[in-house]
Amino acid sequence: MDTTSLSNTLIETIKAMNRCWTEGWHEEEFRQYIHPDAVAIVPTTPGRLEGQDAYVAGWRGFCEAAVIHEWRETDHKVQVYSGGKSAVVTYFFTITFAPGKEKVTLQGRDMFFLVKEGRRWLVAADQFSPEPMA
């Protein structure tokens, strides 16, 4: 199976979803990328975010509390499973944001599990973390 085209589609899906929160908060558009039963593990929240509403609320809270100055994604890797019906997308990111008056730059990594629902790819799971110090 040639996965080049599919990999490009998945990377573009993730980039489009990320623009919904890194270039201003666009909740309704962001929500369209998230599976109703999505789960996320994030470093700032104990346990996990369960369900689309909790997932969206987590990102809304960040966007309301901080001004994002810069977002970069690099080194995307796509692994396709189940005959093209599910995939894992990983990449590294750098974000500069201001949770108050002072800017903070954070480097990290993100891992998404996506499933194909009809003709759309939806985020079913997400885990991100800061990049450990060398």
3-class SS at 5? helix
Q: What is the mean pLDDT of the chain?
A: 95
User: What is the pairing mode between strands 86-98 and 67-81?
Assistant: antiparallel
CATH number at residue 47: 3.10.450.50
Q: How confident is the model at residue 78 (pLDDT cuts 50, 70, 90)?
A: very high
Q: How far apart are CA 38 and CA 53, in angstroms?
A: 9
Q: How confident is the model at residue 88 (pLDDT cuts 50, 70, 90)?
A: very high
Task: For 9-63, write each residue's pLDDT tens digit.
Answer: 999 999 999 999 999 999 999 999 999 999 999 888 889 999 999 999 999 999 9
Q: Domain of 48?
A: 4-130
Task: For 97-125, write each residue's pLDDT tens digit.
Answer: 999 899 999 999 999 999 999 999 999 99
**pTM of model > 0.85:** yes
User: CB atoms < 10 A from the CB of 43, how many?
Assistant: 10
Contacts of 46 (CB under 8 A, 6+ apart): none
Number of domains in the chain: 1
